[in-house]
Amino acid sequence: MILSVASVSLIGLSACTTTGNVEKNAAIGAAAGAVAGAVIGNNTGSGDAGTGAAIGAIVGGAGGAYAGQQKDKNMNEPTVIKRGADGQELIYDQQAGRYYYYNAANGRTYWRDGSYRG
């Protein structure tokens, strides 16, 4: 049961692309760590899957957050919440290697620094 719930959570989290790398990778790492910890905890020691899942979630979450931070660093982006000045969601433009946002008021897109994207 724990394995199936965690697997569904992991699939759902992997589809989420609106958060920053740190948040997304921490969530995925925590879910994967919980699954692995539950399996290991169930099969070793006292057979306590719950404790194994908790420990795995902590270790996986920390590892995932670190991996996300390194990804931000490699993209030359500071590790911050990915939101524009007015709280808009930032979208990563792979070709340009920069973040932009959509202004719903005028239907235009702008780079993170506020300059017109076109």
Is the entire prediction scored with pTM above 0.85?
no
Task: Report the Cα 59 to chain-centroid distance in Å.
Answer: 15
Instruction: Give the relative orientation of helices 49-74 and 2-14 as an angle to the nearest 10 degrees.
Output: 10
Query: How many residues are there in the chain?
Result: 118
* Extents of the domains making up the chain: 2-74, 83-118
Digitized pLDDT (tens) for each residue of the chain, 118 residues in all? 454 444 445 445 444 444 477 778 888 888 888 888 888 888 887 778 888 888 888 988 888 888 877 776 666 655 555 666 677 788 888 888 888 888 888 999 998 888 899 8
What's the rounded Cα separation, in Å, for the pair 83 and 5?
Answer: 30
